[in-house]
Chain A
Amino acid sequence: MLSDAIVERAISGFPVIYPTSNLPALGCVPTTDALDLLYKLKQRKAEMKVSLAVSDLEQAAEIVEVNQNVVRLLSDFPTGSLTLVLPALKQMDERVGGDKIAIRVIDTPITQLLLKRVGPLTATSANLSGIEPETDCDSAALALDLDSNAVISSNCTGGPPSTLIQCHDYAGLMSGEQLLVLREGIVSKSEVKAWSMKMN
């Protein structure tokens, strides 16, 4: 059950913790003030960028350029398994990438509801920078000294993160060189390469 309180908190620019398919995430709307709060809370360096969680492809298409090959790529792998760095439709805060935004379509139903009501939220891990993340959202909130009204209570399963892919030639996306795996996660580099070969 998604509470109105957490929706209002997020819309107001305060950080919230929500579940994903692997770990709890710390989310805020991608505005300067909200990001200031989040970075302070996480004690994260400003030069370390964060990705954005979106509820679905429709929401992604509101902030980044999504072409046919991006649709195919997202469609061919499980929802939530990929985070794609794509050209922004509009310049955003540098901490979320500026003109290149990393987006992850979330597959956790309650988080999808949150994102549909609030809009895209940051998808950084809910921990202090450099500290091992908790798998339980309430424990993550305790570690960050956040109130219970800032949390969607849920246990995440842990496991590898999403695979982070930089789409170099966004218009093409047809060769392995154009898809650069920046962080191997749920989907392996070899699976990404095999997909690229299949598309050629």
Chain B
Amino acid sequence: MDDYILAICSGRAAWQVEPTSPFEIDLSKVAKNIITSGWECTLENRLCYTFSGDVDLTLFPSGKLLIKTGDRELADNIAKLHIENWLC
């Protein structure tokens, strides 16, 4: 998978990255990949997982990732990590 949509959230304080082909992910499996990249998991819940690190992240069951930064370049780098590494 290599396609995604990166969109700024309405508050302009976060970006969301959404795979173009939505699917149900294994939250715990993807969480392990995010933790391996240096983030700390701060919440494990059936509705979402949250992480703290360089920027805070929220991972949803559809594979959508909320990246809490207003910095587009940083968000884009994390989006690529998510699509190319974490979701695989």
Which residues of A pack against B, CB within 8 Å? 56-58, 61-63, 65-66, 68, 71-72, 74-75, 88-90
* B16 contacts A75, C-beta separation under 8 Å: no
Q: Which of B1-55 contact A (CB under 8 A)?
A: 9-14, 16, 42-43, 45-48, 50
User: In the complex the two chains form, what is the Cα distance from A88 to B13 in whole Å?
Assistant: 12
Chain B residues near A74: list those with CB within 8 A.
Answer: 47
Closest-by-CB residue of A relative to B42 is A68
Partner of B58, one of A56, A61, A63, A90: A61
Chain B residues near A71: list those with CB within 8 A.
Answer: 43, 45, 47-48, 50
B62 interface hit (Cβ, 8 Å)? yes
Partner of A89, one of B13, B42, B58, B64: B13
Closest-by-CB residue of A relative to B18 is A58
B83 interface hit (Cβ, 8 Å)? no
Shortest Cβ distance from B43 into chain A, in angstroms?
Answer: 5
* B42 contacts A58, C-beta separation under 8 Å: no
Chain A residues near B42: list those with CB within 8 A.
Answer: 68
User: In the complex the two chains form, what is the Cα distance from A88 to B14 in whole Å?
Assistant: 13
Chain A residues near B16: list those with CB within 8 A.
Answer: 62
B79 interface hit (Cβ, 8 Å)? no
User: In the complex the two chains form, what is the Cα distance from A63 to B64 in whole Å?
Assistant: 15
* A89 contacts B43, C-beta separation under 8 Å: no
* B66 contacts A68, C-beta separation under 8 Å: no
Closest-by-CB residue of A relative to B10 is A90
* B13 contacts A68, C-beta separation under 8 Å: no
* B10 contacts A63, C-beta separation under 8 Å: yes
Shortest Cβ distance from B7 into chain A, in angstroms?
Answer: 9
* A61 contacts B66, C-beta separation under 8 Å: yes
Chain B residues near A75: list those with CB within 8 A.
Answer: 45-47
* A62 contacts B10, C-beta separation under 8 Å: yes
* B45 contacts A58, C-beta separation under 8 Å: no
Shortest Cβ distance from A82 into chain B, in angstroms?
Answer: 13
User: In the complex the two chains form, what is the Cα distance from A80 to B76 in whole Å?
Assistant: 34
**Binary per-residue interface labels of chain B (46-77) against chain A in the complex, 1 for a CB within 8 Å, 0 otherwise:** 11101000000010101010100000000000
* B62 contacts A58, C-beta separation under 8 Å: yes
Given that A62-B10, A63-B10, A89-B11 are known contacts, is A68 also in contact with B62, CB under 8 Å in the complex? no
Closest-by-CB residue of A relative to B16 is A62
